[in-house]
Structure 1
Amino acid sequence: MSPKPILHRDDPEAEPLIGNIKVTRDDWLNVAMDVLISDGVDQIKVLNLAERMAVSRSSFYWYFKSRQELLDALLARWQATNTAALVAQAEAPAETITAAVCNVHRCVVNTDLFDTALDFAVRDWARKSGKVRRILDQSDARRLEALHAMFARYGYSEIEAETRARVLYYMQIGYDLAQLNEPIEMRLSMVPHYLYAFTGVEPKPEEVEEFSAYSLRFLKGNQT
């Protein structure tokens, strides 16, 4: 039995998969992204991807000159989503530093902003590739720079802004890596305490309430 195509179309029924001409560049990228996350970069092979979509691998070369070009496109998409989203959230206007940190932490709960599984897949890839390691280091530096600037906007000294940016960023990486699977209620009950630990400032109740309401829309959806 042929595998069922796993294409990420906004409206797949409007454009059925009939022949290779219907497979788009984004289809190849989306399936390659799935494989990167689930199986690692070594399993991103043209034949493997073609079999997952139930198409001929010849259509791959309409969009990419080589497997390496596909891998480069995956890295570019990761930077244009995860890194760009975190930087944008850090730069978003907020009345207080605690509200600003809440903006950043929207990336933690909203996978449309920031795909944690993809980030970990790229980090694993970087262990095997010096080129990817350099790109990852540059991305980490860009994210930390944005968080540093965020703290600096609210009057923190340079060294304190840098320290708090690192604590915020690296704590979240470790938190996600731990995969605690804690109840939503427990996670949200810690929000005001985390905000105080990150900033040294007591958050406003309405900031906590707004962030908790935002988080529930995504966290509950992820548990279904």
Structure 2
Amino acid sequence: MARPDPILHRDDPGKAPLTGHVKVTREDWINTAREVLIASGAADVKILTLANRLGVSRSSFYWYFGSRADLLAALLDDWQARNTAPILRQCALPAPSITAALCNFFRCFVDDRLFDPHLDFAVREWSRRDSTVRARIDAADSARLNAVRAMYGAHGYPNDEADIRARILYFMQIGYHALELHEDIALRMSRLAGFLEHFTGQKASPEEIADFTAHALAAP
């Protein structure tokens, strides 16, 4: 059966979902599923719940997904694209120094467009009850660690040292969000120079500090 063209179409997955008596997009279903996952966990990501939120019949779900399991798989792919891919990209960016490279990495954690800590926490919580999700978490953590390790290696750190520094940096950053610390951004930036020095053994330039601080303070 041919799929009818939606009345309205949205390609931006970052926007709020459409509501009312309209046909919604696949992205709207994923956006709404993500909201429910973050708010109340994977068990509440149900077709009828999402349809009610979107203001459409549950039958419209099946234009885009064969089953709830298909939606959950798409939700994990969405998490991967939102939270792991940006870390890999940021770590691979060219940088004149290791401190500048760490600033690229840290951009993920001051800008929710590059990393959503609430989504990451929700997927980790989900993984406690689902071995398939646990495997995705383990693979993502491994890929992220490899990217951070390679970032250090690209700036001349021996393999063993790059591995240890990568683990300290990555586990600290994930732990920061897991503890749900809420520090004022200005306070966090006042510690930036010290963090960079301790994570690299090198002092960042004033220009690097100023550039990252300006980015962090301007981030939405």
Taking structure 2 as the reference length, the TM-score comes to: 0.90
Q: 1:17: Cα distance to partner?
A: 5.4
SS at match of 2:204: coil
Deviation digits for residues 164-187 of structure 1 (CA, Å, limit 9, x no counterpart): 100110000111122222222211
2-structure distance, mates of 1:8, 1:122: 25
2-structure distance, mates of 1:140, 1:164: 15
Contact 1:8 1:30 in 2 (8 A): no
Deviation digits for residues 76-112 of structure 1 (CA, Å, limit 9, x no counterpart): 1111221110000000000000000000000001111
Deviation digits for residues 13-56 of structure 1 (CA, Å, limit 9, x no counterpart): xxx75645x21111101000000111100000000001111111
**Which aligned runs of 4 or more in structure 1 are off by greater than 3 angstroms?**
7-10, 16-20
In structure 2, runs of 5+ residues without a counterpart are 1-8, 13-17
2-structure distance, mates of 1:68, 1:24: 18
2:156 is aligned to: 155
Structural mapping, 1:19-98, within 5 Å: 19-20=21-22, 22-98=23-99
Contact 2:51 2:57 in 1 (8 A): yes
SS at match of 1:100: helix
2-structure distance, mates of 1:18, 1:27: 12
2:192 is aligned to: 191
In structure 1, runs of 5+ residues without a counterpart are 1-6, 11-15
1-structure distance, mates of 2:215, 2:115: 15
CA RMSD of aligned residues (A): 1.6
Contact 2:103 2:212 in 1 (8 A): yes
SS at match of 1:113: coil
Contact 1:164 1:198 in 2 (8 A): yes
1:202 is aligned to: 203
2-structure distance, mates of 1:42, 1:49: 12
SS at match of 1:112: coil
2:105 is aligned to: 104
2:133 is aligned to: 132
